Structure 1
Amino acid sequence: MKGNAVYKRSYNGCLAMCGSLPLGAEMPSENELSQALAVSRTTIRTVMAGLETAGILRREEGARRLARHPEPDDAFPDMQTVSTSATVERRFLEWILDGHIGPGHLLTAAELARQFGTSTTIIREHLPHFQHFGLIERRPNSAWLFKGVTPAFANEIYEVREMFELRAARSFIELPEESAPWRRMRTIEAEHRALLESVDTDYGRFPDLDERLHRTVHETADNRFIKDFYDIISMLFHYNAQWDAEDEKQRTFTALTEHLAYIEALLRRDVRAIDRACRQHLKTARSNLLRSIDLRMKVPVGPDASPA
């Protein structure tokens, strides 16, 4: 099976289509899939072969038909479906949130290229992405000023998150119950209930569950800006979890109960309950992030500066 990001992204895209079809349905033509996923017909043919090998599709009288619905494990992990340049963006965000630099630090493309083992060209292409979010500011002589994750930054980004999440939630409840996102949401609900039962010992599993819940909602919006924005949110949760370990078990319990209220409202398609549960959960998340930023500001910055 091919190992490149384009193939894996296309494979996951076809899985999503398969999840919305009834068993026995005929897949769209290679030309239609090529246009829908913006890839070549050669890539589509390779993807179709992979789906047949996995037993998801079967050949029948010259047509490819759905033999079984995809399971979550059939999909490639998100990190394997992104390009090298997008991976560099994620690594850069992880690096700054891990506390290697503080507000006021000057960055250069050459320094970052050495840090991440990539070219200065890729660095220069993607630093402006973080300028858009207000994390860095361009300075003379090809330098960039890191402005830091501040309380003002957190408040602004959570205001945008609330708007995007509520918009994406509207998209989610418009999908049919047999769609792949709805099936994933039911699985996520069951995992939440199981974790709630074992939260005393398993609360460390929550960050992954949190990301899968919100990403499932965000991706149904079919909006590139909402999807790109969620990568920033995901990293901020990582930041919060790393720097604020105090009362983590209790905060996890609170988040699980808020999530379940949100999930139940989504599955009931109750717009008012969705709005109420979503806003409450995001309000709590913002408070937790602001506390973690306050803790981070009290810790020395540097390669060895990490929470005890």
Structure 2
Amino acid sequence: MAKQNTVFKDAFNRCLTTLAETSALPSEPELGQALGVSRTTVRAILTRCEELGLIAWDKRRKTVLRAPDPADYFPTEETDSLAERIERSFMRRILAGGAEPGMQINELELAREIGAGTTSVREFLIRFSRFGLIEKRPNSHWVLKGFTREFALELTEVREMFELRSAARFVGLPEDDPAWEELRKIEAVHREVLADIDRRYKEFSELDEGFHLLVHKSSSNRFIIDFYDVIAIVFHYHYQWNKANARERNARALEEHLAYIAALQSRDLQQVEQACRLHLKSARETLLQSLP
């Protein structure tokens, strides 16, 4: 039921985003298809929208009465998937321990902390262990091998190969591919954060994750997309290890992203490669500087 609840809350939040841009919602089957959920979940979403006074629901007609407020949305932590909650708790634990090599991780404790089954936690740790960051020991114990300089250099080398390949594929996407619209939205958020950098510089790591994932997805290569998970985790969290000059560093990275986005929109392969290489070089330097 917990999983179902997460699916409902996530779909409800996405429905509110749709609601903010329209005067009437589509039919139930269309809404179900757009949100990727069952008809039962669609009805639960519509019922809640009606209870909150967002829509007037009369059989097939679903008229929007008001735009949603921030208070209407479910909090992010309630819509996150179990995998995301495990990842966040795992990284929080590692960061709290200073990410020191030799640090012990107990999967039973981690499962209890998250409120998840040990099987789900073990699956996550096994997946993560493929990259040599953690190692299995007897009795549900794991040991952190540490984010060494060698590990960081190997990771950035593979990241560069994968991202250059993905960026070249992105340029070849057809005009009507949803990725272009997604890129425009990401660009707009970049500009908003940059305009208010003193207060919003901490939002960068999540923006970074979303932007690079969009680029990697265009590769349509399951190995590249799967590998992106470990890249995202390491790069996402290293921003939190090294707090020195975070504002300046994030402002520069936002500028680099905007140049990279402009290059993708120009569809000029040479420009794309140049902007991509420049940004990944900075990211590599930042990662190396942040190592404990």
Q: Provide TM-score, normalisation by structure 2.
A: 0.71
Q: 1:111 to 1:72 in 2, by over 3 A?
A: closer
Any stretches of 5+ residues in structure 2 without a counterpart?
none
Percentage of identical aligned residues: 41
Once residues 77 and 219 of structure 2 are traced to their aligned partners in structure 1, the CA distance between those partners, rounded to angstroms, is: 20
Q: CA deviation at 1:252?
A: 2.9
Q: In structure 1, what is the equivalent of residue 195 of structure 2?
A: 194
Q: CA deviation at 1:4?
A: 2.2
Q: In structure 2, what is the equivalent of residue 176 of structure 1?
A: 176
Once residues 105 and 225 of structure 2 are traced to their aligned partners in structure 1, the CA distance between those partners, rounded to angstroms, is: 27
Any stretches of 5+ residues in structure 1 without a counterpart?
297-308
Q: In structure 2, what is the equivalent of residue 299 of structure 1?
A: none
Once residues 57 and 228 of structure 1 are traced to their aligned partners in structure 2, the CA distance between those partners, rounded to angstroms, is: 39
CA contact (8 A) 1:25 1:65 kept: yes
Letter in 2 for 1:214: H
Once residues 220 and 75 of structure 1 are traced to their aligned partners in structure 2, the CA distance between those partners, rounded to angstroms, is: 30
Aligned residues: 286
Q: 1:175 to 1:58 in 2, by over 3 A?
A: farther
Once residues 256 and 126 of structure 1 are traced to their aligned partners in structure 2, the CA distance between those partners, rounded to angstroms, is: 31
CA contact (8 A) 1:255 1:281 kept: yes
3-state DSSP of counterpart to 1:103? coil
3-state DSSP of counterpart to 1:4? helix
Q: CA deviation at 1:177?
A: 8.1
Q: 1:234 to 1:168 in 2, by over 3 A?
A: same
Once residues 119 and 236 of structure 1 are traced to their aligned partners in structure 2, the CA distance between those partners, rounded to angstroms, is: 24
Q: Deviations over 1:119-148 (max 9, x none)?
A: 434332322121123221223444323211
* Aligned equivalent of 1:108, options 99, 106, 109: 106
Q: In structure 1, what is the equivalent of residue 5 of structure 2?
A: 4
Q: 1:143 to 1:99 in 2, by over 3 A?
A: closer
Once residues 228 and 155 of structure 1 are traced to their aligned partners in structure 2, the CA distance between those partners, rounded to angstroms, is: 19
Q: 1:106 to 1:226 in 2, by over 3 A?
A: same
Letter in 2 for 1:188: V
Once residues 158 and 227 of structure 2 are traced to their aligned partners in structure 1, the CA distance between those partners, rounded to angstroms, is: 9
Once residues 224 and 81 of structure 1 are traced to their aligned partners in structure 2, the CA distance between those partners, rounded to angstroms, is: 25
2:85 counterpart of 1:87? yes
Q: CA deviation at 1:82?
A: 2.9
Query: Which runs of structure 2 are paired with 1:1-308 in the superposition (5 Å)?
Result: 4-11=5-12, 29=29, 33=33, 37=36, 39-47=37-45, 62=60, 79-100=77-98, 102-116=100-114, 118-166=116-164, 168-169=166-167, 170-171=169-170, 174=174, 176=176, 180-191=181-192, 193-195=194-196, 203-218=201-216, 229-293=227-291, 296=292
Q: In structure 2, what is the equivalent of residue 304 of structure 1?
A: none
3-state DSSP of counterpart to 2:44? helix
Q: CA deviation at 1:187?
A: 1.5
Letter in 2 for 1:190: R
Once residues 180 and 69 of structure 1 are traced to their aligned partners in structure 2, the CA distance between those partners, rounded to angstroms, is: 22
3-state DSSP of counterpart to 2:154? helix
Q: 1:7 to 1:101 in 2, by over 3 A?
A: same
Once residues 165 and 70 of structure 2 are traced to their aligned partners in structure 1, the CA distance between those partners, rounded to angstroms, is: 24
CA contact (8 A) 1:30 1:44 kept: no
Once residues 31 and 112 of structure 1 are traced to their aligned partners in structure 2, the CA distance between those partners, rounded to angstroms, is: 37
Once residues 158 and 76 of structure 1 are traced to their aligned partners in structure 2, the CA distance between those partners, rounded to angstroms, is: 36
Once residues 180 and 75 of structure 1 are traced to their aligned partners in structure 2, the CA distance between those partners, rounded to angstroms, is: 23
Once residues 259 and 147 of structure 1 are traced to their aligned partners in structure 2, the CA distance between those partners, rounded to angstroms, is: 32
Q: CA deviation at 1:227?
A: 5.8
Q: Provide TM-score, normalisation by structure 1.
A: 0.68
CA contact (8 A) 1:26 1:65 kept: no
Q: Deviations over 1:240-284 (max 9, x none)?
A: 323323343442343132112112112333333222212211121
Instruction: Between the two structures, name the one with larger relative contact order (CA 8 Å, sep ≥ 6).
Output: 1
